Amino acid sequence: MVTELRKDGISIKYAAEILEVPRSRFYPRNRKSNQTPKPKQNYVSDKELSAAIKMACNRYPLYGYRRIRVILRREFNINVSQKRVNRVMNKLGLSQQRLKNRRVVQMKERPGQPVKPNQIWEMDMTKTYLTGYGWLYIMAIIDRYDRSIVGYEISSRSRTDEWLAAFDKAVKNRFPEGTRDQGLILQVDNGQPTSRKFVKELSTCNVTLLYSAYATPEHNAHIERFFRTLKEEELYYNLYETYSEAITSIEAYIDFYNNHRIHSALGYLTPAEYYQQSILQNVA
C-alpha cells in the first residue's frame, strides 16, 4: 500500500490524517521480538515413543499409562503428556483395564494417618494353593506410612509361630534396638493374633495391638491392598511346581514391590525411596 500511495503522490502522513488512523497501519507488520526465543524441546516421534513404551511395558507389564509415563521420564528421559502415552498404549494394545470396586464401605474407628515411619503397622495373611502340595500361607506386615513390607513369613502352616516369625523379622528390620517405648501400633484382625501366645509376645515387646471389627477388612486396607496386588501381579500369573519355587518367586516379588514398584499414593516413588526421603527429612 505504501508504494501505491507514493506513486499517486500521496504522503503517508496525509493519508493517515484523512483516514484518522495511525501511520503504522500503512506499513507491514514484521516486528522482531526482543525476547530470547525459548529452546525447542527434543521432539520424540511416535515411532521412538512406541519403542520406549514397549520396553517399559515389558519391564512393568501391569502398569497403566500414568505409571508408564513416570517410568518413561525416570528411566528413558522422555517427557510426554499422559494423553499421548495413553493414545500410543491404546494403539499398541498395551492399556490395562481398571478393576473397579463394586461397593464402598464406611470406615469405623480407624487410626489417623501416621506422620512418619514405624508408627502404625498392619498385619494379615493370605494363601495360595499348590497342586499336589496344598496351601501356602503368606503372613506379612506393612508400614502404613511408606507402604513397605517390613516383615513376612511364607510357610505351609499358619500358626501363631509363623505369625510371630513375620513380626520378629519386621522388628529386626525396623527396630534393631527393640520396640519398647517406641509407641508402635500393630493393626490386626480377629484371627490368629488373638491367641494368648501372640498377645503375650506383643505385650512383652510393648507393642499396642489394635483389632479390627468383625467383617471389616477395610480397617486393614493397606495390607489388604498389598495382598490384592500380590495376587494380581504374582500369584495369578505363576504356576508353581514346588514350595521352594513358590517361596523364591514370592520373595523376589516382595523385593520388587519394596524397591522398584512405584505407588501413586507416594507421589510415584517406591516404598524404599519414600522411606529414605522421610529419614533424610527427619535428619535435616
Task: State whether 245 and 136 are in the same domain.
Answer: yes
Task: State whether 24 and 141 are in the same domain.
Answer: no
Task: State whether 130 and 260 are in the same domain.
Answer: yes
| Dihedral class, residue 183 (left if φ above 0, else alpha if ψ from -120 to 50, else beta) | left
Q: Give the number of other CB atoms < 10 A from CB of residue 22.
A: 9
CA distance 51 to 281: 38
pLDDT value at residue 41: 54
Q: Is 73 inside any structural domain? A: yes
Q: Is 216 inside any structural domain? A: yes
Give me the torsion for CA of 148, 152, 158, 160, rounded to 10°.
-100
In the chain, the number of structural domains is 3
Task: State whether 24 and 60 are in the same domain.
Answer: no
Q: Is 99 inside any structural domain? A: no
Residue 103's pLDDT band (cuts 50, 70, 90): very low
Tell me the pLDDT tens digit for each residue of 167-220. Answer: 999 999 999 988 888 999 999 987 778 888 898 999 889 999 988 766 566 678
Domain residue limits at 274? 120-283
Tell me the pLDDT tens digit for each residue of 229-254. Answer: 999 999 998 889 899 999 999 999 99
CA distance 171 to 140: 12
Q: Give the number of other CB atoms < 10 A from CB of residue 219.
A: 20
Task: State whether 86 and 189 are in the same domain.
Answer: no
Task: State whether 25 and 52 are in the same domain.
Answer: no
Task: State whether 264 and 154 are in the same domain.
Answer: yes
Considering only CA atoms, which of 264, 213, 226 is closest in space to residue 144?
Answer: 226
- Domain with residue 195: its CATH number is 3.30.420.10
Higher pLDDT, 51 or 34: 51
Q: Which residue has the cell 507393642?
A: 207
